[in-house]
């Protein structure tokens, strides 16, 4: 019986860790939306969709909007998850079809925090933005970003 209780505790702990990673990811998306001081209608719609897909509760959503810096970057272990996060972040940068330098700078900082190599960060982020602008799917995006790792 003690073993079952310990197992449930570990399971709950893993679930909590995953949720914290999702909260941190959403906070990074919010930071990008807020970087220019204006949340456009397109950015708001993407924030709403992302919060729903990540399982962010309304109370958490409001806490993140009020202070996204309170949620530190919590990088995933696997490359595919990192690349998926980069995809979402690049989507936020381009959702209003306008890219400003501050957004790119913040994207690069977040990408380094996610574990992308700092010596290739400009190339990775430039490629990510280019792929989003050209409507690449997540699968295509994943493949193209992985090519940069190989070079």
Q: Which domain holds residue 102?
A: 2-150
pLDDT of residue 148: 87
Contact 97, 87 (CB under 8 A): no
Three-state secondary structure readout of 51-63? HHHHCCCHHHHHH
Domain count, the chain: 1
N- to C-terminal Cα separation, the chain = 52
Helix (H) or strand (E) holding 38, with range, is none
Q: Report the CATH number at residue 12.
A: 1.10.3680
- In the predicted model, residues of the chain with pLDDT beneath 70 are 1-13, 150-151
Q: Which two tokens stand for residue 98?
A: 């306008």
Q: Which two tokens stand for residue 109?
A: 């900082």
For 100-136, the pLDDT digits (tens) are 889 999 999 999 999 999 999 999 999 999 999 999 9
């Amino acid at each position: 019986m003690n073993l079952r209780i310990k197992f449930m505790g570990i399971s709950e702990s893993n679930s909590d860790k995953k949720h914290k990673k999702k909260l941190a990811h959403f906070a990074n998306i919010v930071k990008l939306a807020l970087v220019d001081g204006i949340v456009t209608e397109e950015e708001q719609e993407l924030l709403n969709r992302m919060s729903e897909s990540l399982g962010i509760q309304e109370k958490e959503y409001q806490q993140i909007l009020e202070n996204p810096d309170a949620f530190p970057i919590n990088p995933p272990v696997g490359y595919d998850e990192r690349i998926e996060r980069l995809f979402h972040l690049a989507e936020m940068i381009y959702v209003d079809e306008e890219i400003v330098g501050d957004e790119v700078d913040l994207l690069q900082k977040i990408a380094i925090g996610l574990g992308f190599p700092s010596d290739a960060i400009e190339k990775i982020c430039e490629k990510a933005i280019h792929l989003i602008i050209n409507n690449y799917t997540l699968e295509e995006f994943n493949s193209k970003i992985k090519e940069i790792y190989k070079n």
